[in-house]
Amino acid sequence: MSNWQGQTYKADCLSPKETWDIFDSTKVKAFQECPRRFFYNYVLGWSKEEGNIHLDFGGAFHEGMEVIVKALKSGRPHDDILAEACIAFDRFFDRVYPNEALHSDFSPKDPKHAYMAYETYLEHYIDEDITCLHTELPGVVAVSPDHHIHFKMDGVGEAGDGHPSYHGVVALEHKTGSRNSLVWREGWHLALQPTVYTHALNCLYGIENVDYVVINGVFLYKDKIGLERVPVKKNLEQMREWIWEIQHTFHVIDHNMEALTQADTGEPFLRCFPKNTGACTDWGRICPYADFCMAGKNPLHFADEPPYGFHEKHWNPQKEHENAKETLVVEEGKAEIVVSGVQADNG
């Protein structure tokens, strides 16, 4: 247990949340990019009230991709798989955006382009020599005695002897985008998410049996679909270095969380979670919390309730496990697939 857990807070506006000590790759990456943005988003839980078409479309798209990945090497008719994938997409997307008249406003992240993407993907990959082992597999993996990272892998499979590029166990991570660039492709090789997946798979199957985490890129253009895969592989030395790096990151997070217990609304500025002013315009967009930072005030002065246009929502990646048919749990070097409460020991 970290030193800050269970402590009381000087600032009355701070009420400890169970989610503060539950991390996934997104939360860790957010802290690495800007500790102050992490504070607003994941400690206070402030996020914009309007929906996010990028996240919503991604969620819907994953529903259809799960159908397709499960159908690899199944011998099912192409048209049947495509129809089922489109139905799965619609079920999710229509629930979030029930007004079909507005769907075209989101182009190319709309149903039409999702259907095009599924058809293109099927034409390209349906006969690929990969046996599906798991889809939408949530899990939690220890990175130190006190720290864990939650995850959800889109697909895990085993490449056959005849596969031209992969051998052994591979993971597929589906990503949609609108531009295939060198920056997008190269960025995955040092990214946190595929490294977390590699760590979990190494624990489950053994490092000698794990090949790549494959970033499965699907690019949506006005009149066509682009496909690009980025295979990410880590050797033992790289994984050892990463373990040290992620433990260091958690040490810094713990230091800031402990400092927060002593933070006071009477102080002129917040003496933890410093700003990274180089991240204010990441991805060509202004940070949603930039106005708060430019105000030059201690955030605790106005932390009693979310400002206008924001609401309080605390992301809990552990919730992904609740309705899962199977969950991967890695603790103290032992990996288990928990199937609806039944543990299958993998050594």
Boundaries of every domain in the chain: 18-50+241-315, 51-127
| pTM for the model | 0.92
Residue 29: closest CA among 196, 177, 171:
196
- Arithmetic mean of pLDDT, 3-25: 89
Cα 95 to Cα 102: distance, rounded to the nearest angstrom: 13
Confidence of residue 346 (pLDDT cuts 50, 70, 90): low
Answer whether residue 148 shows pLDDT above 60. yes
Cα 184 to Cα 253: distance, rounded to the nearest angstrom: 27
More confident residue, 181 or 317: 181
Q: Which residues are CB-neighbours of 57 under 8 A, at least 6 positions away?
A: 93, 106, 109, 110, 114, 176
pLDDT for the residue 315:
87
pLDDT over 70 percentage in the chain: 97
Cα 4 to Cα 292: distance, rounded to the nearest angstrom: 26
- 60-82 residue pLDDT tens: 999 999 999 999 888 899 999 99
Answer whether residue 331 shows pLDDT above 80. no
Q: Which residue has the tokens 């624990």?
A: 203
Answer whether residue 322 shows pLDDT above 70. yes
Residues 130/157, Cβ–Cβ less than 8 Å: yes
- Arithmetic mean of pLDDT, 296-301: 92
pLDDT for the residue 1:
60
Cα 265 to Cα 299: distance, rounded to the nearest angstrom: 8
Write out the two tokens for 311. Answer: 């609401």
For 69, the 3-state DSSP assignment is helix
Longest dimension (CA), the chain: 67
- Which one-letter DSSP state was computed for residue 24? B
Confidence of residue 333 (pLDDT cuts 50, 70, 90): low
- Arithmetic mean of pLDDT, 101-120: 94
Confidence of residue 345 (pLDDT cuts 50, 70, 90): low
Confidence of residue 267 (pLDDT cuts 50, 70, 90): very high
- Arithmetic mean of pLDDT, 104-130: 94
Q: Which residues are CB-neighbours of 227 under 8 A, at least 6 positions away?
A: 120, 121, 124, 217, 218, 219
pLDDT for the residue 347:
45
Cα 238 to Cα 63: distance, rounded to the nearest angstrom: 33
Q: Is 40 left (phi over 0), alpha (psi -120 to 50) or beta?
A: alpha
- Arithmetic mean of pLDDT, 306-327: 87
Query: Mean pLDDT of all residues in the chain?
Result: 92
Residues 84/66, Cβ–Cβ less than 8 Å: no
Q: Which residues are CB-neighbours of 200 under 8 A, at least 6 positions away?
A: 139, 141, 151, 153, 328, 330, 335
